[in-house]
């Protein structure tokens, strides 16, 4: 929501300031559709050229994410820590055989079923289920650092894919000023073809050409680059729940006391999503 509000403020202040200082919006508005056709068409063509269909779909989803904000709230982080803590406790108290059906078929697991929002997050469920399945089939013979390395590799791959739309948006932002210059140059070429026109007409044509440069810079630094930056923030906030899950698994394998396991996961969360320790412990007790 704040991204949309910011764009509205940007447009109002830029064009409003132009009008207040005596500028005439008419010539600008007349040129905008033609310049946007060139700049927008070139931008779309560049994005399509540089990305696969999968990445284009991810880019669309990334734009929506910039406006919607983080996928997970504080309650989701609490539930993720509780879920993995319960699974690791089951492994410790009842052994791999008791844990196996829960990680083999999470959709049919009574434990996973208590957390429907988490169950709908397939990458998170896969991280939990795949890691614990590895521990189950190894019958406890895996070294802890090996489990941590496997989880790190899985997270690295997942996070790399999450950041692809942000990189594409930033690349587009970097290209837009140059595409604006392309539109401006074409406007100048058009103007030079009408060099015998009176100064009043030539002035309007040159002004229209300069609108291309203006739009390219405005779109790049006023809209697309901030959206790319916002998307990066959202993605990094959504990554925190995965790090919390990893911390619970590794700390539990080290045999740490449960309060310390919980605190190690909680303390790694950002302030926006970090519950109080008492709040988290109460939630684990069902209070």
pTM for this model (two decimals): 0.86
Cα torsion 183, 185, 189, 192 to 10°: value is 120
Distance, in Å, from the CA atom of 196 to the CA atom of 101, rounded to the nearest integer, reads 83
Quick one: 52 exposed, middle or buried, by C-beta within 10 A (0-12, 13-18, 19+)? exposed
User: Which pLDDT score, from 0 to 100, does residue 202 have?
Assistant: 76
CB count, 10 Å around CB of 79? 19
User: Which pLDDT score, from 0 to 100, does residue 142 have?
Assistant: 77
Distance, in Å, from the CA atom of 247 to the CA atom of 180, rounded to the nearest integer, reads 47
- Mean pLDDT, consecutive 10-residue stretches, the chain (287 aa), reads 89 92 86 91 93 91 91 93 94 91 93 93 94 85 88 94 93 95 90 79 82 94 95 94 95 92 92 89 78
User: Which pLDDT score, from 0 to 100, does residue 20 have?
Assistant: 93
Closest listed residue to residue 114, CA positions, set 160, 78, 161, 71: 78
Q: How far is CA 65 from the centre of its chain?
A: 6
User: Which pLDDT score, from 0 to 100, does residue 140 have?
Assistant: 63
User: Which pLDDT score, from 0 to 100, does residue 181 have?
Assistant: 94
DSSP class per residue in the chain: -HHHHHHHHHHHHHHHHHHHTT--HHHHHHHHHHHHHHHHHHHHHHHHHHS-HHHHHHHHHHHHHHHH--S--HHHHHHHHHHHHHHHHHHHHH-HHHHHHHHH-GGG-HHHHT-HHHHT-HHHHHHHHHHHHHHHHTTT-S-HHHHHHHHHHHHHHHHHHHHHHHHHHHHHHHHHHHHHHHHHHHHHHHHHTTTTS-HHHHHHHHHHHHHHHHHHHHIIIIIIHHHHHHHHHHHHHHHHHHHHHHHHHHHHHTT--HHHHHHHHHTTS-TTTPPPHHHHHHHHTT-
User: Which pLDDT score, from 0 to 100, does residue 143 have?
Assistant: 87
Largest Cα–Cα separation, the chain: 91
User: Which pLDDT score, from 0 to 100, does residue 195 have?
Assistant: 78
Is residue 173 within 8 A of residue 224, CB to CB? The reply is: yes
Distance, in Å, from the CA atom of 43 to the CA atom of 35, rounded to the nearest integer, reads 12
């Amino acid at each position: 929501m704040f991204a949309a509000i910011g764009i509205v403020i940007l447009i109002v202040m830029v064009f409003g300031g132009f009008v207040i200082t005596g500028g005439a919006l008419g010539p600008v508005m007349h040129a905008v559709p033609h310049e946007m056709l060139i700049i927008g068409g070139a931008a779309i063509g560049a994005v399509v050229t540089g990305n696969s269909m999968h990445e284009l779909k991810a880019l669309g989803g990334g734009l929506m994410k910039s406006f919607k904000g983080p996928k997970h709230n504080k309650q989701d982080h609490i539930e993720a820590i509780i879920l993995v803590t319960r699974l690791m406790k089951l492994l410790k108290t009842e052994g791999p055989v008791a844990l196996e059906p829960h990680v083999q078929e999470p959709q049919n697991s009574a434990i996973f079923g208590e957390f429907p929002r988490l169950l709908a997050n397939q990458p998170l469920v896969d991280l939990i289920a795949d890691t614990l399945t590895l521990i189950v089939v190894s019958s406890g013979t895996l070294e802890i650092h090996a489990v941590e390395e496997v989880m790190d590799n899985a997270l690295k791959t997942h996070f790399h894919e999450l950041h692809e739309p942000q990189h594409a948006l930033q690349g587009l932002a970097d290209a837009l000023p140059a595409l604006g210059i392309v539109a401006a140059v074409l406007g100048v070429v058009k103007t030079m073809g009408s060099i015998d026109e009176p100064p009043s007409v030539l002035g309007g044509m040159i002004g229209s050409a300069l609108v291309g440069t203006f739009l390219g810079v405005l779109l790049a630094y006023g809209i697309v680059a901030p959206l790319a930056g916002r998307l990066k923030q959202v993605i990094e906030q959504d990554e925190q729940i995965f790090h919390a899950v990893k911390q619970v698994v590794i700390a539990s394998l080290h045999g740490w006391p449960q309060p310390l396991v919980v605190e190690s996961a909680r303390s790694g969360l950002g302030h926006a999503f970090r519950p109080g320790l008492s709040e988290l412990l109460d939630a684990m007790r069902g209070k």
